[in-house]
Structure 1
Amino acid sequence: MSSLPDAVTAVVAHGAGDLRVETQPAPQPAPDEALVRIAYGGICGSDLHYWRHGAAGESVLRAPMRLGHEVSGTVVVPSADGGGPAAGIDVAVHPATRGTAPGRYPPERPSISPGASYLGSAAHVPHTDGAFASHVAIPTRLLRPLPPGLGLRTGALAEPASVAWHAVERAGDVTGRTALVIGSGPIGALAVAVLKHHGARRVVAIDLHEHARATARALGADETLAATDAEAIAAVEADVVLECSGSSPGLESAVRGAVRGGVVVLVGLMPSGPQPALLSLVVTRELSLVGSFRFNDEIDAVLAAMADGSLDVGAVVSHEYPVGRTLEAFEAAADASSSAKVLLTFG
């Protein structure tokens, strides 16, 4: 297979505070895998947690792991079994594999299947390496050809936009409704764009940082509020609230900002263990609390919407760094006061 590189450049987390750009042996694709030359990779909150803490929630690093699951690239060697995109096709990546562990779950919701795996996740041992590398062997079932006219830079946003799309749809029909987004980091800002795409009449976004609020406005928010303005948040009386901060103060704001009988979708991953919550108000206002975890097949609709221009998410990108400046890129992504989505470029 002469098109294989001799070696690849990869971003690997070795433990808390130990992030390295290193050379790894070239991948040897299995028959159902294509070799993809990675163009862009978005830094996710989970990547930041592995770098800073050596864990993302209860997924703890027990061995070095290549990071990254928000990627786009070009197929350079198609799969040997002929089942995937041809060489030269630009692709986005759906990073999830349905679990095979026994356990009941709705079959149309594989994101919550027991034992599901995700690129760049330490949830299982051995860990599932991610796609932050110059070339990666990826199962063709995970590849999504980019529609005509959709560039690789935008294609790298398909995964986080799908998380936001899934969250919005967990709320039900938002047409004509008032929506409140708690936390305007990358997922929250993308949720603003998806809410407008889905027909929300009014979208209010809150955050601690003006930079994040400005990003939300650029993606369609009708109004933004400081996260400290409790009175204004409560006055929103939103039909639908998306809690994207993953914090107990954010959850409190979500409950207080919801109209009686409203829906609160929990998108941000809360720290493990018990969390304080205003459950008395949930009861007396008959609020519906709904969980939202990753996504299922929404990436196909997201790619189509981005391609036809009905979902414009480009404003979420605040920085781009070449892979050789990965640590600088991670430091930028960790500073919510001055960044939104940070992309790595792999040349």
Structure 2
Amino acid sequence: MDGSLTVESREIPTPAPDEVLVRVAAVGVCGSDTHYLRHGRIGDHVVTGPIVLGHEASGRVVAVGSAVGGDRIGERVSIEPQTPDPTSRESRRGDYNLCPSMRFYGTPPIDGALAEFVTIGASFAHPVPEHVSDEAAALMEPLSVAIASIRKAGVGMGESILITGAGPIGLLCAQVARAAGLTRIIVVEPGVQRRSAALRFGATEVAVSVADSDAGQTAVDAFVDASGAPPAVLDGISAVRPGGRVVLVGMGADTMELPVSLIQNRELVLTGVFRYANTWPTAIELVATGKVDLDDLVTSHHGIADVRAGLDADRIPSSIKAVVHPGIDTVEPAARPSS
């Protein structure tokens, strides 16, 4: 891949019988989008031809397939960007995110949401209340990753958690942990601006490293790595109490050495997170009731003509989340578009 990016005109897609057609209002830029653009692959997923990026999306239903009720036209929706095979063993047991036949927005060779119109299965277009912004509706997707991570961590009221990495997922994990009633939320992040953001978004304490945090001296109930950095993973594991849980969600090294004896002796449960399943109702409720703030994560808005700047926004230290509005050519710096 040469990292080239073009904007082109395409036919408006036609929804299948069980799908809806959505006019896209907002698309959050994810690290996976920039990774595909710059490096052409993530693990086994390799870009071999032109692909539309983007999977954090919201919009309004403008047409429906023949098996979908017409009353859905006009709904504002948050898109769950997955199309699993409903007959797979994974889907039948409820783990549809692990379906081996999954078609996922913006993952080669499936086109994503950086388009004016997209189709999605009707049950994966989740209605959102009118007071929830287009941007927040789009960011239900990364929020769902955080919800899946905190669920895997198995912690709740009055317990403690260590989170390494204060990018969008780490910050959302802190917010979800706070909403779940955790009273000690330690976020480790080397960047000073992101440490400050972590305190705004739910952390009770922040530190440059695990060793510099209270977690280095007092064991936590669970550890979530949202950095993907092997040193952070190793230090985080050492901070977990006996019988605690370790959740790996950050994308980083494909392989790393782990302290096997420590994991065995403490009987730690170590697991990963791959996307999400059955999270959107919780995400919508958390945002609609004000328990999680997604709007303040947005640090820049971009029109489709400015999409390159949106995809490169992660190179700006103060950036947290860039949002692209595919139906708009350019966005004024102070503007906040709505559908």
Could you tell me the TM-score, scaled by structure 1's length?
0.88
Match of 1:112 in 2: 98
Match of 1:281 in 2: 262
Per-residue deviation, 1:185: 0.5
Q: Are 2:325 and 1:325 aligned?
A: no
**Do the aligned partners of 1:98 and 1:115 also contact (CA within 8 Å) in 2?**
yes
Match of 1:264 among 230, 236, 246: 246
Q: Are 2:80 and 1:94 aligned?
A: yes
Of the structure 1 ranges 132-141 and 36-45, higher mean CA displacement relative to structure 2 is found in: 132-141
**Do the aligned partners of 1:182 and 1:253 also contact (CA within 8 Å) in 2?**
no
**Do the aligned partners of 1:84 and 1:141 also contact (CA within 8 Å) in 2?**
no
**Do the aligned partners of 1:43 and 1:341 also contact (CA within 8 Å) in 2?**
yes
- Relative to structure 1, is the Cα distance of residues 261 and 50 closer, same or farther in structure 2, using a 3 angstrom cutoff? same
Equivalent position SS for 1:22: coil
**Do the aligned partners of 1:219 and 1:313 also contact (CA within 8 Å) in 2?**
no
* Superposition map of 1:58-97 within 5 A: 58-83=44-69, 86-97=72-83
**Do the aligned partners of 2:4 and 2:37 also contact (CA within 8 Å) in 1?**
yes
Match of 1:314 among 295, 316, 322: 295
Match of 1:341 in 2: 321
Could you tell me the TM-score, scaled by structure 2's length?
0.89
Query: Match for 2:201: what amino acid?
Result: L
Per-residue deviation, 1:236: 4.5
**Do the aligned partners of 2:161 and 2:186 also contact (CA within 8 Å) in 1?**
yes
Equivalent position SS for 2:8: strand
Per-residue deviation, 1:45: 1.4
Query: Match for 2:67: what amino acid?
Result: D
Over the aligned positions, Cα root-mean-square deviation in angstroms equals: 2.0
Match of 1:129 among 83, 95, 111: 111
Q: Are 2:206 and 1:220 aligned?
A: no
Q: Distance in 2 between matches of 1:16 and 1:249?
A: 31
Equivalent position SS for 1:213: helix
Structure having the higher strand fraction is: 1
Q: Distance in 1 between matches of 2:174 and 2:56?
A: 19
Per-residue deviation, 1:106: 7.2
Ranges in structure 2 where 5+ consecutive residues have no aligned partner: 329-339
Query: Match for 1:252: what amino acid?
Result: L
Equivalent position SS for 2:112: coil
**Do the aligned partners of 1:48 and 1:334 also contact (CA within 8 Å) in 2?**
no
Q: Distance in 2 between matches of 1:113 and 1:247?
A: 27
Q: Distance in 2 between matches of 1:156 and 1:102?
A: 28
How many residues are paired up?
Answer: 326
Match of 1:57 in 2: 43
**Do the aligned partners of 2:28 and 2:323 also contact (CA within 8 Å) in 1?**
yes
Match of 1:38 in 2: 24
Q: Are 2:223 and 1:237 aligned?
A: no
Q: Distance in 2 between matches of 1:340 and 1:236?
A: 30
Q: Distance in 2 between matches of 1:52 and 1:39?
A: 25
Per-residue deviation, 1:263: 1.1
Identical positions, percent: 32
Q: Distance in 1 between matches of 2:277 and 2:129?
A: 19
Q: Distance in 2 between matches of 1:166 and 1:135?
A: 28
Match of 1:143 in 2: 125
* Superposition map of 1:169-184 within 5 A: 169-184=151-166
Of the structure 1 ranges 230-239 and 218-227, higher mean CA displacement relative to structure 2 is found in: 230-239
Per-residue deviation, 1:257: 2.3
Q: Distance in 1 between matches of 2:11 and 2:18?
A: 20
Match of 1:21 in 2: 7
Ranges in structure 1 where 5+ consecutive residues have no aligned partner: 1-14
**Do the aligned partners of 1:177 and 1:239 also contact (CA within 8 Å) in 2?**
yes
Q: Distance in 2 between matches of 1:147 and 1:26?
A: 26
